[in-house]
Structure 1
Amino acid sequence: FFAIRFHSRNKIGHTRQGYFVRRCCVQIGLFIIMFDSTLQNLKIQLTCKLMFLFSCVCVFFAHNPTPSTPTPKILNTISSDQDTQSRDGLYFQDGKRRVDYVLVYQFKKSSRKGAGSRNRESMNSRRQEPDPEIGLQPVDFPEDDRRLRREEYEHNLLETGLELESDEEANCYGLGFVKIHAPWHVLCREAEFQKLSMPTNKVIKQKTGILSKISNVMHKITSPFRPNLKEQNNVTFKHLSYPFSREKQHLTTCTKAKYSMGKELLYEEWASYGMFYKYQPLDLIRKYFGEKIGLYFAWLGVYTQLLIPASTVGVIVFLYGCATVDENIPSMEMCDHRSNITMCPLCDQTCSYWKLSTTCATARASHLFDNPATVFFSIFMALWAAMFLEHWKRCQMRLNYKWDLTGFEEEEVSDHPRPEYEAKILSKVLKKESKNKETEKEKLTWKDRSPAYLTNIVGILFMIGLTFAIVFGVILYRISTAAAMAVSSDPYTKDNVRVIVTATAVIINLVVILILDEVYGSIARWLTQIEVPKTDKSFEERLIFKAFLLKFVNAYTPIFYVAFFKGRFTGRPGKYMYIFRSMRMEECAPGGCLMELCIQLSIIMLGKQLIQNNLFEIGIPKLKKLIRYLKLKREVKLEPDSNYKKPQQYEADYNLEPFAGLTPEYMEMIIQFGFVTLFVASFPLAPLFALLNNVIEIRLDAKKFTTELRRPNAAKAKDIGIWYNILRGIGKLAVIINAFVISFTSDFIPRLVFMYLYSPDGTLHGFTNNTLSYFNVSHFEAGSEPREAMALGYKVEICRYKDYREPPWSPEAYDVSKEFWSVLAARLAFVIIFQNLVMFMSDFVDWLIPDIPKEISERISKEKLLMVDLFLKEEQTKQQIVEALSSQEKERTVENSDEESPKEDMSDLPENYTKSTDSSNSHHVNAEKQPV
């Protein structure tokens, strides 16, 4: 009774859980009755026991009933009930032909009703159907013209063999839907046009015995995530002697339709954050989304996996800095309060003299990232980048072999001109025909494209100049804010001027970067569209180049300024450099600008990953989806319909966010790869934060692709395209940038020069004093001396500043000293040696590791040999058939000649002899017509 009530009233009654609860209720009831002592009838007890056992068997082997309502989060959910499938919009009205594609068009309903109707031909019922766009208003051009265009387009689709069916009762206001079904023979024909290879092996030889069982157990332990699907019955068509790899079984196994795509498994396993420790089901991703998207997630998985060793080494380097911070002599000298080192003011008039010991915390923090281990880590990351690219090429070749892409050429499918290009050519031909009355094959020349090229150059230069101007504005903010905070009465504010100014400036840079990223993406697309590239591949490559160039400049310009320009052009006390003749250029701290570079890099990297890559990526599609839903709901309320029905699956899918391509997904990972490799000498923890972000990013992208985006069109690709060249270029650039960061931004080279050339005991004792020059305060320019000369409680006559210059009592006062030229020569030598050594090691790693794994190359060569043998056998069989037919033809010719030679004596032969000869001739003719 409880089971019946549960089934009839509970919402979960028709679901998988409800089915299980009903069975359990029946089992519990029978179990109670079976052991009830009040039942004395043995027949009733026996019957209850049999029913109990039968119910247990039913629960164990029961198939879950199909829910009447498909899961809204999974696209194109499959139902086994044909009526339910047709009602949900997954099938045609007959419930047999599945909807493969849906065309959507917009129109405006007219106030007048019954204005007319038109007929739409449907392969489903071959009957006339009413069209939801009766009586339309013109939008861009007359609505009748738009309707005729759609009719012509649908007629062309019908001629190709596709089957169409229109939605007669669409709920979406102003939208019409046309469902398309592709029959099997049409798919076979298109497969021939696209040169899709047929499977060469249908049966895989399996080992038997104890060794096979041990191998299966080890395979289950070491194999990545594999969905446990039921075994399918394979139909054998052709056998070859060589057993190919198990990896290609999915290419040769004909599975049932409801198990072929694995959408439910993708949603439950791949798009679940709790499954972050599992490998991605790349085969299912490739089946549902296509090879191009499958390669993206495969590359993202390989990149995330190889971040683990880089993160480990980075953490070790950071821990080494933490362990040796108390033993660092330069930071100990800066923190020594007994040393009476008075520093020159950081700004004119408002800033006063200050003690070097006030920068103790900054000096100790700088050692965490500026230590000898960072040089080793920079070399390691350069080799890591080369190893990553080589490892990806090998994984890519495995996937190409596994997904049957070894013989695929993208030019075969990407050379078709884009519609915009054809329209441009057509307009050019029409103009030429109106003038010359001549027709010839036209194409866009450099003269036709020169205005677009000029616009692209000017637009890109303007965007780059805008980025530089914004960075310059932030520099002015830093200078003015530091001068304003220097006169503050709050001692905490005066002591932490550098930290506050740096943090606020970096936050401003981050906000500007996030805004300009969106703007630059739209501008790059517009600049590419006006170029009118011929093919989709050319369009994508040009778009990627422009977007990457603009976003690279936008993301790294503030970091490049801190790393290589800040503090380089400040001048010296008494002769400073000014902006607008009033604002003095900012200086680095006595410990160097490396700590500030670390703060800049960490905030921008973490901010972009947290806000742009995570919040925006999942929040903006949800917001757009909500806006479309509210708009549709409001429009439906404006025009109430008594025949309102439950929304179809394709109507729900239409409310999802359209797929915008993989360019944004690759772009954010490429920018992150730059953060990890370009300035890794200043921030060893960058690989760790990238690893943590990517673990979430994979599941976030998976959830977005399965629940928030419309299903993209499957596209074939054998590699990641131009992104590989960009990665390779960043890897080469990282070597150069890290060499300059170590030599010019950090104090690694000055410390080495001091230890080996100027230190009396070969240690770093006295290094801080060696890097500080002297200045006589009486040599300040008029109006630049500090107002509060007695801020430290005593009169200052000599102050110190960081530079290699002669003292004021020297004959060459304030000129650069010999130490300056020694350090500069050592820095340049280090850049040259480091760059050539690391690049040589990277190229050596590239040469040492083959691009194609040995087992894959062997399998490909054996497949080619087998195919050649197969073709030779077929040719030999054909040759034997031809020789047999030619021999029969010769025999028949000889017999005919023998019959014609005694022609004069044929009248004397018996009549039955002639008949038998005719019958024999007819026998030969019939034998020749029989098929071989």
Structure 2
Amino acid sequence: MFKRDGDDFLSMAECQYIIKHELDTLRAKDETHVPGYSQAKLYPGKSIIRRLLSKGILIQVFPLHDKEELKRLSFSWYEKVKLSLQPLDDIRHYYGEGQALYFGFLEYFTFALVPMALIGLPYYLFDWEDYDKYVVFAVFNLIWCTVILELWKRCSASLAYNWGTLSRKKAFEEPRPGFHGVLGFNPVTGREEPLYPNAKRLLRIYLVSLPFVLVCLYVSLYVMMIYFQMEGWALNVHDEDPTFWTGILCFIPSIIYAVVIEVMNLIYRYAAELLTEWENHRLESSYQNHLVLKVLVFNFINCFASLFYIAFVMQDMVLLRQSLATLLITSQILNQFMEAFLPYWLQRRRNKKMMRKVQKKRTMQGVELPLEEQVRLEADMSTYLGTFDDYLELFLLFGYVTLFSCVYPLAALLVVLNNITEVYSDAFKMCRVFKRPFSDPAANIGVWQLAFEAMSVIAVVTNCALIGMSPHVKAYFPDSETQLILWTVAIEHGLLAFKFILTFLIPDVPKHIQIKLARLEFESLEAFKKKRQLHGGKCWKPWSSARASSEEERRSCTH
């Protein structure tokens, strides 16, 4: 357990990251087995910690909670209901930048949805059957999804600058702990590390991973067609004998399909992790990119393919609204049950059993909870698996809102309510249910930013197509459907061009932060020049520095 001695130069999360980094970079060299365990063989370049874990010699590696810090964080975070922002600086100090940026994005996304929710509610209440009036809502949707993502980049840059990670470089990222290969030397750093042929990795990706993803997509589409058969049967029953119960029956196929979608997503996620691990990526960023790509492609098809089919093949707006509402509400209920109630209930049972033992020892010994008992208590907690699933859930909710909310304007309000409960449930789980995770320094939300931007581009195309299908719009082209299609495509291209121009005009980093970064760079260069003069014109800056010198500095550096 790491305890600070009053020095605030490094946060608690940064100290733990340094310790975890040193543990992960321990690799076998000449050792053939773990001392004292002849059955646990070691191979050159293999991660020692992962080997100890796989052989059961080492059970768990996790940082302990700091009781006082956790108590203060819990009180300011979730223990009191309040209309105020989350304590992101405290979250960053305790859990690290990666976790704080997720909660910052969740908070930002929730506030950004409020205008759409306020506009969508009267549309839903007063224009229930008039879908043509949703054209205005669709246009607002197009502008909204572009602006909020660009403004988030500025907000993210401000947070990262305040936390000192905005200029964090990853040019010399260390190999991930799970990476294995023949021990050799990195030609860039000159360090000894495992080497693995890139050609072999590409063969695994294109000959195994890609066919696997395609087969899973085929299965997803096949399940979708079964759903439509069930939907047709339920509608036929209702048409033959319309009663209250047959009306309820019409919603059953959508509910079953929503549950099946969640189950398929979980199974595929597990398979995708195994497959991406088997591909043996050297860097953690590369591993995450390939895993995110696999999961997003399948989840997008699995969750939205039926809605696209209803909208553009069947062109049934009533069924589209019903399916969207059922999928959105069912998925939110399932997620809240799986992420909030179930972990809370299971952990409460485990904690009660453990606390009875601890209380008994306290009574017998008359002392405070010893460190070894705290270790046993926290070791029994659930393991936090990172922000991947949290970002994935927000990505799917973002898709439900931006793609088809013009036919179901209540979607934004439902997502706002979901996100509010998500903030408190996630905060409670982080503080009381999960073991404390090791921190992950981050300057932004990474590949998820690209995922949300790709979804916004698809939203432009989808909403333009829905606008073109509106009877009011079709009335302007009574004689030629070709002209309608051409005009729709032209407007869609114009909106995409406007979107990319807007992306270019809005800088990712606010002007005042750009000035501060430039000033820091200037002061660093001036300090470098003065230091070089003190050393008689010799270059003292190490070439392996994470911040490489500019070409001008390297040319002026003489030995």
Q: Calculate the TM-score normalised by the size of structure 1.
A: 0.48
Match for 1:418: what amino acid?
R
Following TM superposition, by how much is the alpha carbon of 1:287 offset from its aligned partner in structure 2, in angstroms?
0.8
Q: Map residues 559-578 of structure 1 onto 2, 5 A cutoff.
A: 559-566=307-314
1:730 corresponds in structure 2 to 455
Matched, 1:846 2:522: no
Contact 2:238 / 2:250 at 8 angstroms: preserved in 1?
A: no
**Cα distance in 1, alignment partners of residues 62 and 260 from structure 2:** 45
Instruction: Decide which of 673, 677, 680 is 2:405's aligned counterpart.
Output: 680
**Cα distance in 1, alignment partners of residues 233 and 415 from structure 2:** 34
Instruction: Decide which of 739, 750, 757 is 2:474's aligned counterpart.
Output: 750
SS at match of 1:479: helix
1:268 corresponds in structure 2 to 75
Instruction: Decide which of 105, 129, 132 is 1:371's aligned counterpart.
Output: 132
2:221 corresponds in structure 1 to 468
SS at match of 1:145: strand
Contact 2:261 / 2:303 at 8 angstroms: preserved in 1?
A: yes
Matched, 1:289 2:95: yes
1:661 corresponds in structure 2 to 386
2:161 corresponds in structure 1 to 401
Instruction: Decide which of 524, 545, 554 is 2:293's aligned counterpart.
Output: 545
**Cα distance in 2, alignment partners of residues 841 and 452 from structure 1:** 36
When residues 526 and 630 of structure 1 are mapped into structure 2, their CA distance, relative to the original with a 3 A threshold, is farther
Matched, 1:299 2:105: yes
Contact 1:308 / 1:691 at 8 angstroms: preserved in 2?
A: yes
Following TM superposition, by how much is the alpha carbon of 1:667 offset from its aligned partner in structure 2, in angstroms?
0.2
1:450 corresponds in structure 2 to 203
**Cα distance in 1, alignment partners of residues 518 and 176 from structure 2:** 37
Following TM superposition, by how much is the alpha carbon of 1:479 offset from its aligned partner in structure 2, in angstroms?
2.5
1:897 corresponds in structure 2 to none
2:8 corresponds in structure 1 to none
Instruction: Decide which of 317, 322, 330 is 1:594's aligned counterpart.
Output: 317
Following TM superposition, by how much is the alpha carbon of 1:526 offset from its aligned partner in structure 2, in angstroms?
1.6
**Cα distance in 2, alignment partners of residues 385 and 742 from structure 1:** 17
Instruction: Decide which of 262, 272, 282 is 1:534's aligned counterpart.
Output: 282
Following TM superposition, by how much is the alpha carbon of 1:555 offset from its aligned partner in structure 2, in angstroms?
0.9
When residues 543 and 631 of structure 1 are mapped into structure 2, their CA distance, relative to the original with a 3 A threshold, is farther
**Cα distance in 1, alignment partners of residues 198 and 535 from structure 2:** 51
**Cα distance in 1, alignment partners of residues 232 and 40 from structure 2:** 64
When residues 386 and 467 of structure 1 are mapped into structure 2, their CA distance, relative to the original with a 3 A threshold, is same
SS at match of 1:715: coil
Which has a greater percent of helix?
A: 2
SS at match of 2:287: helix
Matched, 1:418 2:176: yes
Q: Give me the identity figure in percent.
A: 24
1:790 corresponds in structure 2 to none
SS at match of 2:439: coil
Following TM superposition, by how much is the alpha carbon of 1:658 offset from its aligned partner in structure 2, in angstroms?
0.9
1:708 corresponds in structure 2 to 433
Match for 2:444: what amino acid?
D
When residues 650 and 468 of structure 1 are mapped into structure 2, their CA distance, relative to the original with a 3 A threshold, is same
Following TM superposition, by how much is the alpha carbon of 1:471 offset from its aligned partner in structure 2, in angstroms?
1.2
Instruction: Decide which of 488, 499, 512 is 1:855's aligned counterpart.
Output: 512
Q: Map residues 310-325 of structure 1 onto 2, 5 A cutoff.
A: 310-318=116-124, 322=126
When residues 143 and 626 of structure 1 are mapped into structure 2, their CA distance, relative to the original with a 3 A threshold, is farther
SS at match of 2:81: helix
When residues 841 and 611 of structure 1 are mapped into structure 2, their CA distance, relative to the original with a 3 A threshold, is same
Match for 2:96: what amino acid?
G
**Cα distance in 2, alignment partners of residues 296 and 875 from structure 1:** 42
When residues 505 and 679 of structure 1 are mapped into structure 2, their CA distance, relative to the original with a 3 A threshold, is same
Contact 1:478 / 1:501 at 8 angstroms: preserved in 2?
A: no
1:112 corresponds in structure 2 to none
Contact 2:259 / 2:330 at 8 angstroms: preserved in 1?
A: no
Following TM superposition, by how much is the alpha carbon of 1:463 offset from its aligned partner in structure 2, in angstroms?
1.2
When residues 695 and 544 of structure 1 are mapped into structure 2, their CA distance, relative to the original with a 3 A threshold, is same
When residues 524 and 648 of structure 1 are mapped into structure 2, their CA distance, relative to the original with a 3 A threshold, is same
Contact 2:154 / 2:509 at 8 angstroms: preserved in 1?
A: yes
Write out per-residue CA displacement over residues 618-666 of structure 1, whole angstroms, 9 at most, x where no aligned residue: 2343455467679989999xxxxx99x9761111111111121111010
Contact 2:179 / 2:194 at 8 angstroms: preserved in 1?
A: no
Contact 1:393 / 1:852 at 8 angstroms: preserved in 2?
A: yes
Following TM superposition, by how much is the alpha carbon of 1:386 offset from its aligned partner in structure 2, in angstroms?
1.4
**Cα distance in 2, alignment partners of residues 385 and 855 from structure 1:** 25
Match for 2:73: what amino acid?
L
Match for 1:417: what amino acid?
P
The aligned length equals: 488
Instruction: Decide which of 138, 143, 149 is 1:389's aligned counterpart.
Output: 149
Q: Map residues 328-339 of structure 1 onto 2, 5 A cutoff.
A: none
1:42 corresponds in structure 2 to none
Q: Calculate the TM-score normalised by the size of structure 2.
A: 0.77
When residues 531 and 627 of structure 1 are mapped into structure 2, their CA distance, relative to the original with a 3 A threshold, is farther
Contact 2:142 / 2:460 at 8 angstroms: preserved in 1?
A: yes
**Cα distance in 2, alignment partners of residues 393 and 866 from structure 1:** 26
**Cα distance in 1, alignment partners of residues 58 and 464 from structure 2:** 59
Match for 1:621: what amino acid?
P
When residues 738 and 866 of structure 1 are mapped into structure 2, their CA distance, relative to the original with a 3 A threshold, is same
Write out per-residue CA displacement over residues 222-275 of structure 1, whole angstroms, 9 at most, x where no aligned residue: xxxxxxxxxxxxxxxxxxxxxxxxxxxxxxxxxxx999x842222112123613
Q: Map residues 140-539 of structure 1 onto 2, 5 A cutoff.
A: 144-145=37-38, 262-272=69-79, 274-275=81-82, 277-318=83-124, 322=126, 365-367=128-130, 370-372=131-133, 374-412=134-172, 414=173, 416-422=174-180, 424-425=181-182, 443-447=196-200, 449-451=202-204, 453-488=206-241, 492=243, 499-500=247-248, 502-539=250-287
**Cα distance in 1, alignment partners of residues 428 and 124 from structure 2:** 34
Which structure has the higher relative contact order (CA within 8 Å, separation 6+)?
2
**Cα distance in 1, alignment partners of residues 319 and 66 from structure 2:** 57
Unaligned runs of 5+ in 2: 6-15, 21-33, 50-55, 185-192, 359-363, 538-559
Matched, 1:621 2:322: no
Match for 1:534: what amino acid?
R
